[in-house]
Amino acid sequence: MHLVLVGTSHHRAPVELREQLYVSAPENPELVRRLAGENGEAVALSTCNRTELYVVDEDPEVAQERAFAELAALGGLSESEIAPSLYTLGDEAAAMHLFRVAASLDSMIPGEAQILGQVRGAYETAKEAGTAGALAHRLFRQALRVGRRVRSETAIGENPASISSAAAELAERVFGTLEGRRILVLGAGKMSDLATVNLISRGVESVFVANRSVDRAERLARRFGGRAAGLDAVEAELEDVDIVVASTGARGYVLSAEQVERAMRARKGRPIFFVDIAVPRDIDPAVNDIEGCYLYDVDDLERVVEESVAGRREEAVRAEAIVAEEAEGFRAWQLSLDVVPAIASLRARAESIRTSELERAEGRLGSLSPSERRAVESLTAQIVNKLLHAPTVRMKQAAAAADGVVYADAVRHLFDLDDRDSSARQPRE
């Protein structure tokens, strides 16, 4: 079986395309089932910065075609239109990429903590959908281990920058100081929570939370001594706030240019700062054309982010070494898939011969005491193990050098093996 990755990220696609290719939580299970087909495996990782489809199939070209078709359908575009923004990786390269993603080395902000939870979430969804088989289990469990190792063995995550902290820093640059400023938060999820924490830590005075679910808005607002309401109250609040942070999970704009224009007339020229950290975006981009309005989306935060992570380059080098080590381990494991069934079949055949010969000699062994019988069993088992030790080691070495298939086929031919001789065709994790 081969591993194929097809995806895009902030390195290759602007936010306008990324939001079209975004896979929502309700869409994810059915998507991975379609990708996996009857005998394959699939995991879909989709965040504000990336959408990546990991597919396991006997035919890598079929897996790639299936992934391309799903991404095109998501975006409502032709495959030729999205192809320049996509990357395709296979087997070891795909594993290396996922390990770098889990280690936050491929993030807009190296060292950010959220990506590891997002990788775990994608894996859990695939398990629940029944599309995570032996290879996907091994790949994603190892990716999660890589992420944990990087955070515990390097300082890349110390004082981590994040999208929310970068947004707060940018707001502070615009206003000079956030002391006494008032903020409107659209959405009541984790990103909204983090953004609010960062803004309050810089002196913001009051918080108003608007969300489709008023109960969730009230829970978040209570944490900060603020007020809450539904999204229908947003336009009225725009007349008084200084900063708007948007991070809902909605598809389509939550705040229109027309709403902002009406609010700006009441503000009498006072500027307002918008940070849209949602993908898909929550705020109509036309807001940026309105006088007195300053709108920034996730891509606009890249410069702020780059400055904030300059001091982590050395830690990133150490993290890359961990990723390379783990990728080599995955490569060795995947190559062993070619030889493990042959090794298991060889040992099963040898054990079958040993036990059948002992049964044939039962008449001559019947007079042995229990301890003598155990000694004969042990002696014959040791002979089998010693005879098979060298072939087993040589096949594993050949697998590491990518010659495993040749050796496995030779062993099957020489010993007239059938994989049915083994009850376990897949290696244990």
Amino acid in the structure at residue 337: L
Phi, then psi, of 59 in degrees rounded to 5? -110, 105
Please report where in the chains the tokens 């059915």 appear, as a residue: 30
Nearest to 185 by CA among 170, 204, 166: 204
Cβ–Cβ under 8 Å, residues 98 and 116: no
CA distances from 330 to 99, 316, 325, 327, 380 (A): 10, 21, 9, 5, 35
CA gap 292, 429 in Å, rounded: 59
- Residue among 6, 31, 48, 72 flagged as catalytic: 48
Query: Is 48 among the catalytic positions?
Result: yes
CA gap 192, 209 in Å, rounded: 9
Positive or negative, the CA dihedral 4, 9, 14, 18 is positive
Local structure of residue 255 (DSSP, 8 states)? B
Scanning 76-186, the segments in alpha helix (DSSP H) are 79-82, 91-102, 114-129, 134-153, 163-175
CA gap 308, 179 in Å, rounded: 22
| Contacts (Cβ under 8 Å, ≥6 apart) of 348 | 421, 422, 423
State CA 325 to chain mean position distance. Answer: 19
Cβ–Cβ under 8 Å, residues 101 and 143: yes
Structure token pair of residue 113 = 């903590």
How many of the other CB atoms lie within 10 Å of CB of 397?
13
CA gap 117, 314 in Å, rounded: 24
Query: Which positions are annotated as active-site residues?
Result: 48
